[in-house]
Amino acid sequence: MLTTKQWLGVAFLVAGVGYGIWLNMQPEPTLETDSRWSTIPYLDANAVADGKALYQRYCAACHGASLEGQPNWRERDSAGYLPAPPHDQSGHTWHHDDKQLFTIVKEGLQAIAGADYRTNMRAFGQQMNDDQIWSVLAYIKSTWPQKIIEAHNRFSQE
């Protein structure tokens, strides 16, 4: 016969195994289910600072050190590719909601535009984790005028 301590040990073991099984059955957090992904953290000074450094490392070569984009960004080149657009208020970045922007950076533009869309925008999900991607977006958004931020927020809430 088991002692009380032994029964407690068995009970804790069963509970621990059950909890482990339950955790493994939970779906991975996604853009739609993880609440921390509800909006770009553009008011978080740490996220913005981290995002600025990451932007300079991964994005500035194409989109410009000052988010200005490449010249003639609305005109396709001879191969059918558009130059990198600006991320400042003059571009169209702010016309995309938070989830689209996140997906574009993580998976590449073709993830939302279709596999046959001609683009030089590659996926950065292998170079940056999700928090880092949100930080890059926070930096970009933090540079927009309040009027643009408010318009972008409306897109993201629809």
Classify residue 4: in a domain, yes or no: no
Per-residue pLDDT tens over the stretch 97-125: 899 999 999 999 888 888 888 889 999 99
Classify residue 59: in a domain, yes or no: yes
- CB neighbours of residue 47 within 10 Å: 21
The CATH number that applies at residue 95 is 1.10.760.10
Classify residue 24: in a domain, yes or no: no
Classify residue 20: in a domain, yes or no: no
Classify residue 127: in a domain, yes or no: yes
How many domains would you assign to the chain? 1
Q: pLDDT value at position 37?
A: 47
Q: How far is CA 7 from CA 1, 3, 49, 114, in A?
A: 10, 6, 53, 58
Please compute, for residue 84, the number of CA atoms within 13 A of its CA located in the half-sphere on the CB side: 21
Reference 98, options 59, 55, 137; nearest CA is 137
- CB neighbours of residue 128 within 10 Å: 18
Residue ranges making up the domain that contains 46: 31-157
Classify residue 25: in a domain, yes or no: no
Reference 103, options 125, 73, 132; nearest CA is 125
Per-residue pLDDT tens over the stretch 44-87: 899 999 999 999 999 999 999 999 999 999 999 999 989 999 99
